[in-house]
Structure 1
Amino acid sequence: MRHTSAQAPSVVDRVLDVFGAFTAQRPALSLSELSRRAALPLSTTHRIVGELARRGALERQDDGHYRVGLWLWEIASLSRGMGLRDAAMPFLEDLYEATHENVQLAVLDASEVVYVERISGRNAVSVVSRAGSRLDAHATGVGQVLLAHAPAEVQEKVLAGPLKAYTPKTICSPDELRRVLAGVRRDGFVISDRQVELVSLSVAAPVHGPEDTVVAAISIVVPAQGADAWTLVPAVRAAARGISRSLGAPRARPAR
């Protein structure tokens, strides 16, 4: 449940709690499971789920379990993330074809990054991210890029902690994170070394929008063992610049 009001949850809160009960690990749930995971009475859950299924936002399987429906996917396709994805895909695909490693596109949502797209090869190093998933921004390459260009109040809220440690390499010191963010603004990229998983590192760079503000970040994730991250920096920055140009960012326009 994502609502935090001290008042009783509204109808919208309850509907969102039902959707929030689904996870990548549990994409199909029974009515009783939805009731328990959404912390709602069974009768309330039955009424909400029935209406959502009638509208196509949920689908009932033959075994009685429910899944998120295609109608909700249609609505989600109107989000800013999907327009960004469409502009970015040609450049993400080029970067993937050049490396056959994991290529990711992400946006910032408060203190977390939301992955809009990920292209992954069969032999690429394993990563925990997927399209639609979230991770703490301070621990990821894309997150550090996005935090570096976020409003000061967003940065300070993250720096105030706590900063979750995914591995012994995760930056959990506010002072160290502040230095990293300053380096991103100075250099235009970041190398995040084994901060989410010990088997991988990432190189990330910012994507600028029509007003030259940073609207997203891309990264490539490669095995930590034997990788020369610095050789990937030009390709990642070039892809980010191409996406920025596609979005109409003034700084990415070719010089006359």
Structure 2
Amino acid sequence: MPPTIHLVRHAQGYHNLSPENEKLPDPDLTPLGIQQCASLRSSFPHHAHLRALVASGMRRTLYTCLHAFAPSSDDDNNQAHLLPVIALDTLQEVSDAPSDTGSSIDKLKEEFGEKVDLSRMREGWNFKGEGSYFEPTLEKLATRARDARRALREIAAGLGDDGDDDAHVVAVSHGAFLHFLTEEWHGITSTYPTSWTNCEYRTYQFVDPTGQDPDAQLRETDESWRRRHGSLKVPSEEEQRELRQMMVRELAPFFKTRN
């Protein structure tokens, strides 16, 4: 069976409380955000099948992953392999606002210690200026999303054969970037450029189970779509293109002018 990827938007951060708070650098979770993690932890049905935890290098995604999925002292010791959380710089949010710009790797090491694996984080990952790999242009966002999917596929493929043919991976990212990652644009409105709510999870599998697809495309599972939308029909490719155009219009203030 191909690996199952559960994508999660981080819990509420202080930057979510007001536009003014987007000036906060790499903000923490709010008390409500921590409660959202607890609710997700209690309702998530696949803990026993989890084989890896992944998150963007932002503090709010790392804490969401740790609060909602990491093993605690009350858990079965068989879940100890889920730590450390694998941090991926490619999963960070779209814009270059202070709230969407991460902390230095040294600071993350000091704060999270052995709970987070920072080996895939590159120096300068929190620079999003002109010429940077992380510069918020449409072309570079598409490239970064592809690279993030490839990394998730690589991580899933490297889990090894532990006798479980139903291996699951959790990856915690950000509302706007998750649309680029999944190439799904349904539910976006003219007032809010993401349909993902805080601490929401959706479930995906790779379109090509052989792992040869250079784009490592993901497709939401039927169960996940029905859980969210009931009998609503999945948007066609043409409808997805139109929805993407709306997303781009709403995110235009965060993109570089040449895009």
User: What's the TM-score, normalizing by structure 2?
Assistant: 0.34
Relative to total residues, which structure has the larger strand share, 1 or 2?
1
Higher Cα Rg: structure 1 or 2?
A: 1
User: What's the TM-score, normalizing by structure 1?
Assistant: 0.34
Structure with more relative contact order (C-alpha pairs < 8 Å, separation 6 or more): 2
